[in-house]
Amino acid sequence: MNACAFQYSVDTAKERLRPLFRKAMATGAFVNLDMEHHGLKNLTLALYRSLMEEPEFHDYPYTGLAIQCYRRDSESDLKDLIQWGKSRKITFTIRLVKGAYWDSEVIWARQNNWPVPVFSKKHETDANFEKLARIVLQNHERTLLACASIIFGRLPTSSKYPKNCGFLKDRSNIRLSTVWGNR
């Protein structure tokens, strides 16, 4: 994928992903698109939206996107996605992750004299993780929350938020996951 060939990249990736989405639909599997780094973020967002707007995939509820909470623009991306989902009546999962590419994002930005796109302090990322989890939960009609962390003990207090605030009668719309082998 290449941002300089934006539409071509989206169209090519859609061709490759359609068989995967069809197989997922046939088996009831979940498909999640991850955000690898800054250069692919907008392509990934456009790719997901474009695929889910196709009639074949529109009503399939087991799809989602990862949002990297260490990114400064993650809140606006999340709000745009939620508005998009509401306007098109698409239900999807947001998998919140704190962010795994901090070092490379900072290095790439500094090498190119770009603004650094990520928070510079861990507590800023942690606070944003909590904030974004609340936004997802406040929009639970169309979005499901999946929280990811390397260490379960570091998952946000947001997993307690729905019950405390009365959004959900249970926690059935929250998924907790961890990444094995990183630490």
Question: What is the per-residue pLDDT across 43-101, written as a single tens digit (0 to 9) for each?
Answer: 999 999 999 999 999 999 999 999 999 999 999 999 999 999 999 999 999 999 888 77
pLDDT band, very low/low/confident/very high, at 102 (cuts 50, 70, 90): confident
- pLDDT tens-digit readout, 127-151: 999 999 999 999 988 899 888 665 4
Q: Which two tokens stand for residue 147?
A: 């929280």
Whole-angstrom distance, CA of residue 107 vs CA of residue 112: 9
Please spell the DSSP secondary structure of 124-135, one letter per residue: HHHHHHHHHHHH
For residues 98-122, average pLDDT: 89
Total Cβ atoms within 10 A of residue 19: 9
- Distances in Å between the alpha carbon of 177 and those of 21, 147, 156, 162? 22, 6, 12, 18
- Encode the chain in three state secondary structure: CCHHHHHHHHHHHHHHHHHHHHHHHHHCCCEEECCCCHHHHHHHHHHHHHHHHCCCCCCCCCEEEEEECCECCHHHHHHHHHHHHHHHCCCEEEEEECCCCHHHHHHHHHHCCCCCCECCCHHHHHHHHHHHHHHHHHCCCCEEEEEEECCHHHCCHHHHHHHHHCCCCCCCCEEEEECCCCC
What is the model's pTM?
0.83
Asked which of 4-18, 22-36, 98-112, 124-138 is least confident by mean pLDDT, the reply is 98-112
Asked which of 98-107, 136-145, 168-177 is least confident by mean pLDDT, the reply is 168-177
- Which of 74, 77, 73, 93 lies closest to 176, judged by CA? 93
Percentage of residues in the chain having pLDDT higher than 70: 80
